[in-house]
Amino acid sequence: TQHFSYQDDTLNIDGISLKELAIEYGTPLYVYSKKALVENFRQYADTCKRFESDKIHSLVCYSVKSNSNLAILNILGQEGAGFDIVSGGELQRVIAAGCDPRKVIFSGVGKTANEIGLALKHDIHCFNIESFAELHRINQVAQEMGKQARVSFRVNPNVDPKTHPYISTGLKENKFGIPYEEALACYKAAASMTNIDVTGIDCHIGSQLLDDAPLLEALDKLLHLVDQLSEEGITLKHIDIGGGIGITYDDEKPVAISDYLTRLFTRVENWRKQKHPDQSIGLMFEPGRSISGNAGLLLTQVQYLKTNSDKNFAIVDAAMNDLMRPSLYEAWHKVLPVSNRKGEATSYDIVGPVCESGDWLAKQRELVIQADDILAIMSAGAYGMAMASNYNTRGRAAEVLVDNGNAYLIRRRETPEELFALESVLP
Ligand code: LLP
Residue 161, pLDDT score? 76
The residues of the chain that CATH labels 3.20.20.10 are 34-289
Q: What is the ipTM of this complex?
A: 0.99
* Coil/strand/helix, residue 239: strand
Residue of 65, 107, 168, 245 to test ligand 1 pocket, by largest number of atoms within 8 Å of CB: 65
Is any ligand 1 atom within 6 A of the Cβ of residue 163? no
- Residue 231 counted as an annotated binding residue: no
Is any ligand 1 atom within 6 A of the Cβ of residue 243? yes
Judged against a pLDDT cut of 80, whether residue 172 lies above it is answered with no
Residue 176, pLDDT score? 87
* Coil/strand/helix, residue 337: strand
Q: In the structure, what pLDDT confidence band is assigned to residue 165 with cuts at 50, 70 and 90?
A: low
The residues of the chain that CATH labels 2.40.37.10 are 4-33+293-420
Cα separations in angstroms, 180 against 76, 217, 221, 226: 33, 13, 9, 12
Is the separation of the CB atoms in 18 and 33 below 8 Å?
no
CATH architecture of structural domain 4-33+293-420: Beta Barrel (2.40)
- What span, in angstroms and rounded, lies between the C-alpha atoms of 412 and 86? 25
Residue 173, pLDDT score? 66
* Coil/strand/helix, residue 88: helix
- Residue 383 counted as an annotated binding residue: yes
Residue 306, pLDDT score? 97
Q: In the structure, what pLDDT confidence band is assigned to residue 255 with cuts at 50, 70 and 90?
A: very high
- What span, in angstroms and rounded, lies between the C-alpha atoms of 105 and 284? 10
- Report, as residue numbers or ranges, the catalytic residues: 355
Q: In the structure, what pLDDT confidence band is assigned to residue 2 with cuts at 50, 70 and 90?
A: confident
Task: Please state the rounded mean pLDDT for residues 292-305.
Answer: 98
**Environment class of residue 233 by beta-carbon count within 10 Å: exposed (0-12), middle (13-18) or buried (19+)?**
exposed
Q: State which ligand 1 atom lies nearest to the alpha carbon of 293.
A: 14
Task: Please state the rounded mean pLDDT for residues 31-56.
Answer: 98
Task: Please state the rounded mean pLDDT for residues 120-132.
Answer: 97
Task: Please state the rounded mean pLDDT for residues 197-221.
Answer: 96
- What span, in angstroms and rounded, lies between the C-alpha atoms of 418 and 93? 20
- Residue 130 counted as an annotated binding residue: no
Is any ligand 1 atom within 6 A of the Cβ of residue 27? no
What mean pLDDT, rounded, does the chain reach?
96
Residue of 66, 175, 208 to test ligand 1 pocket, by largest number of atoms within 8 Å of CB: 66
Q: In the structure, what pLDDT confidence band is assigned to residue 174 with cuts at 50, 70 and 90?
A: confident
CATH architecture of structural domain 34-289: Alpha-Beta Barrel (3.20)
- What span, in angstroms and rounded, lies between the C-alpha atoms of 333 and 236? 41
Task: Please state the rounded mean pLDDT for residues 277-295.
Answer: 97
Is any ligand 1 atom within 6 A of the Cβ of residue 204? yes
